[in-house]
Amino acid sequence: MSRNAQREEPTERLGCLGSIVRLAMQLVLRFFGIGRREMRRAIKPLDQYYQEYVDSWVSENMARWLNQTRAEIDVDTATKVLLGEADRYPAVAKLIHDTIIDAKVTFSQRDGKQYLEVEAYLAPRQTNGSVPQILRWRAEREISWQEIPDDVRERLIRARQPVTLGYAIPR
């Protein structure tokens, strides 16, 4: 029993010393208004805010293109459907699904700047039985590094090439 007690004593001392140092660091950080929970609360919503910002920009562009491709699709309603409210507007959601052939979002870096690009292929309503003309729409804008979602940022750093994501249309 004395051997076990001797083995545990040094770890207890380091554990106590580590706890004291950790407590001191936390007090210093709190003195400056920084704490672990507060930092986590500040960082996570910021990334969620930018994710929502990117989703909104992409959805607004897609909704505008849908309206230009098929006039019966309202821009505001299409934006809501693309942002996840498809169950509230089932008829518009069906029109959107019938119109969008493919869409993708690409994050890239060029000349020290970051860009967000959305590209979509849409088909107008077919009225004469022939193969419909497929329309290609594309928009790009410069964004800041912070506006890129964390997981995409990591992939951009690792791959050192553009990151393309498929665009999932809410059902």
Proportion of the chain above pLDDT 90, given as a percent? 4
* Residue 102 covered by a domain: yes
* Residue 29 covered by a domain: no
Task: Report H helices in the chain.
Answer: 2-31, 36-69, 75-80, 90-99, 150-159
Asked if 124 and 133 touch (Cβ cutoff 8 Å), the reply is: yes
Asked if 82 and 96 touch (Cβ cutoff 8 Å), the reply is: yes
**What is the residue range of 95's domain?**
45-166
Domain count, the chain: 1
Burial class (CB in 10 A: 0-12, 13-18, 19+), 43: exposed
* Residue 8 covered by a domain: no
3-state secondary structure (DSSP) of residue 113: strand
* Residue 94 covered by a domain: yes
* Residue 149 covered by a domain: yes
* Residue 34 covered by a domain: no
Q: What is the pLDDT of residues 43-66, one digit of tens each?
A: 455 455 556 777 788 888 888 988
What is this structure's pTM? Answer: 0.64
